[in-house]
Chain A
């Protein structure tokens, strides 16, 4: 066909290429299988045995058959409070970094702060919460302390997702809005934020999912116990969450069905995190389709 004839080197290179391609495919598929096996293991061991009572019942100290009611409630309560504290500030900071920050040394320092804060290990935030709330204010291990410490952990991530979402808004839209004589804030409120909302909500959901499963911070700041009641909205009650309960059951509990409780708790935990990551995006997805039409 052509005058090209393969030398030994060509043949070898082609052989390596084929082998490597097969190897890359192999690794890709292997990792997919590992991930699915992981999810299957978590769900399969826990989900089939979960009854509605398990989700609302009080835990038992000694007898089998306890539930995870207060912990599940605390998980949502702490998550909710921490988002209340962190979302306004995180989004505000993100807006500042994306819209206002001038290109100078000061902004560089702010940016280093955000990145440094997002790299701080969660255990360190836990110790900070312990130092502030248990030692400095002396209120002990509480839901309030836990949720504020968790809010610290969320802050840099929220700032980053907001900044990225706002950077993705085309400059044309802003210019058009300025041309109509809007002030900077009017432009942000009526043009930039609505366009970026989709990405911001997605980002907040990812952060919420991570915060829901966070345990190192909560162990140190909200403790290993609950107030022992369901629907306890007190801010100063100890606030063991589901993720912490999984740790407690596995390491310290003496109930005979600890293993089953842990299996079920893990399944609920993963299920809720995936749920948070996906379900809150569905309205946005519909919204998008409407916009595209």
Chain B
């Protein structure tokens, strides 16, 4: 009977408007809030972009001041980091970061993908609905707690096992990081594997394949793009992780020549030194440049993921 005015069509509402002014006000108000909130939502997303711009400008601006006093080649290629003597060679941190990330992926990728395959292809449903939330628990543990456990449990263990006097270093850091990025990689690979159409598997089974053959010859190749995305995401997490690494790596500015050499990576060096430096010093600029490098690497990896995804859409 009494239809509310906002549920009428436009023309009807104009009729109503001409007769009752109070209802016209309501209509105007509704239109106004509609427009206001659209503006607000747009503002929100622009604010997000503004934050990204802030990050790039603030870190980049300070970072590039490094090259007023330092040459490009000294910063990137020199292995001598001795700020007290004006040597700012970040090359060793860059190489250490690469070693650590590589080692982490070497440990983590096979296990994570095995878990993803297990979840998607082998585990019965009851086990699946159990293991997935448990993996999420792993994401919830703060990185500082991982670092603390690495320091108090893993390092003494490594010390006993190998007879090293310290135990800090690449191996400990890589083990801790592997556990941290395991849920990231396995969860996304799991989704990618689950998304492989069932008919592919059925066709392979019909040709007489065993399940192992289906997994390795059909499912993993078909899901490879998703798996690569998962690995890259895990990699960004490993490169940017700070607190867990800083507690187990030993924090000494030297190249990691063995698995047990106390060393330092980009993130751990920044967090150990940034609070103690003068704002207007080359030291501080160099630390900002290292942060800018981290930023550039993560953005680059994200662009690679986007490229992979776009290619996937085109091929599908």
Contact = CB atoms under 8 A, between A and B. Distances in A.
A associates with B: yes
Interface of A: 13-14, 16-17, 20-21, 23-25, 27-28, 31-32, 34-36, 38-39, 41-42, 88-93, 95-97, 99-101, 110, 112-117, 119-128, 130-132, 135, 152, 155-156, 159, 180-186, 188, 206, 209-210, 212-216, 219-220, 243-244, 246-247, 250-251, 259, 262, 266, 269-270, 273-274, 277
B206 interface: no
B72 interface: no
Contact of B294 (A25, A124, A131): A124
Given A35-B135, A42-B145, A96 B45 contact: yes
A131 B58 contact: yes
A95 B43 CA distance: 11
A27 B30 contact: no
Interface residues of B, number: 87
B213 A17 contact: yes
Given A31-B115, A117-B52, A181 B7 contact: yes
Contacts of B306: 112, 115
Contacts of A32: 131, 134
Interface of B is mostly: helix
A34 B143 contact: no
B146 to A, nearest CB: 9
Interface stretch (B161-169, B191-199, B239-247): B239-247
Q: Which among A23, A41, A42, A89 has the highest number of chain B CB atoms within 10 Å?
A: A89
B77 interface: no
Contact of A28 (B38, B43, B123, B210): B123
A212 B51 contact: no
A243 B242 contact: no
Contact of B212 (A17, A113, A122, A131): A17
B41 A93 contact: yes
B33 to A, nearest CB: 6
A215 B242 CA distance: 9
Contacts, number: 255
Closest 8 CB pairs of A and B: A213-B142, A121-B240, A92-B44, A17-B210, A96-B41, A93-B44, A183-B34, A93-B45
Contact of A124 (B31, B44, B59, B301): B59
Given A27-B114, A116-B299, A274-B137, A123 B49 contact: no
B148 A262 contact: yes
B211 A17 contact: yes
29 contacts: A13-B213, A14-B210, A17-B213, A21-B212, A24-B114, A28-B122, A34-B179, A36-B134, A38-B138, A92-B45, A99-B41, A113-B48, A113-B52, A116-B298, A121-B239, A123-B294, A124-B55, A127-B288, A128-B58, A156-B48, A182-B6, A185-B33, A186-B34, A213-B141, A215-B144, A216-B143, A247-B247, A250-B148, A269-B142
Interface string B283-316: 0000110010011001101110110000000000
Given A113-B48, A127-B288, A182-B7, 19 more contacts: A17-B212, A20-B215, A27-B118, A28-B122, A36-B134, A41-B149, A92-B43, A96-B44, A101-B45, A110-B45, A124-B295, A128-B54, A131-B58, A132-B58, A152-B55, A214-B143, A243-B142, A270-B145, A273-B141
B210 A24 contact: no
B270 interface: yes
A117 B288 CA distance: 17
Given A13-B213, A183-B31, A262-B148, A39 B137 contact: yes
A229 to B, nearest CB: 23
Interface in B7-64: 7-9, 13, 30-31, 33-34, 37-38, 40-45, 47-49, 51-52, 54-55, 58-59, 62
